[in-house]
């Protein structure tokens, strides 16, 4: 998959995943990897950026094995941002889809 496509969509996938359920870093990497093949190096900085922009909150939770895990939780601003992004994505997707259909039809 094209790297530029990935980068654009990755943010949306991460936001939607965390909106559904609070997750810790590694869990999120695994979740995202189901959809797109992405390297871990891009996900953690993205999580950091979303946290710094106040779309995510973090909290520590003890785990049965190993050190406490840092969970990501979506904020109200994050939910609004996810809605905007989803809208943008669907509009963009529709436009591209229409364009492709029209041109393939000819």
Looking at the Cβ atoms of 40 and 98, the one nearer to another protein is 40
Looking at the Cβ atoms of 50 and 74, the one nearer to another protein is 50
Report the C-alpha gap between 18 and 27 in whole angstroms. 10
Strand 23-24, strand 69-74: pairing: antiparallel
Q: SS3 for 105?
A: helix
Q: Which residue has the tokens 């939910």?
A: 79
Residues of this chain that bind another protein (CB under 8 A) = 25-26, 29, 39-42, 44-46, 48-49, 52, 66-67, 69-70
Looking at the Cβ atoms of 43 and 74, the one nearer to another protein is 43
Q: How far is the CB of 93 from another protein (least distance, A)?
A: 26
Q: How far is the CB of 31 from another protein (least distance, A)?
A: 13
Within a 10 A sphere around the Cβ of 82, how many other Cβ atoms? Answer: 19
Looking at the Cβ atoms of 37 and 104, the one nearer to another protein is 37
Report the C-alpha gap between 89 and 87 in whole angstroms. 5
């Amino acid at each position: 998959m094209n790297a530029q496509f990935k980068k654009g969509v990755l943010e949306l996938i991460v936001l939607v995943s965390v909106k559904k359920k609070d997750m810790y870093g590694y869990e999120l990497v695994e979740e995202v990897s189901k959809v797109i093949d992405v390297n871990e190096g891009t996900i953690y900085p993205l999580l950091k950026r979303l946290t710094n922009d106040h779309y995510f909150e973090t909290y520590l939770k003890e785990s049965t094995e190993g050190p406490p895990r840092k969970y990501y939780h979506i904020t109200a601003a994050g939910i609004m941002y996810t809605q905007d992004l989803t809208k943008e994505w669907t509009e963009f997707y529709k436009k591209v889809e229409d364009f492709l259909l029209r041109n393939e039809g000819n």
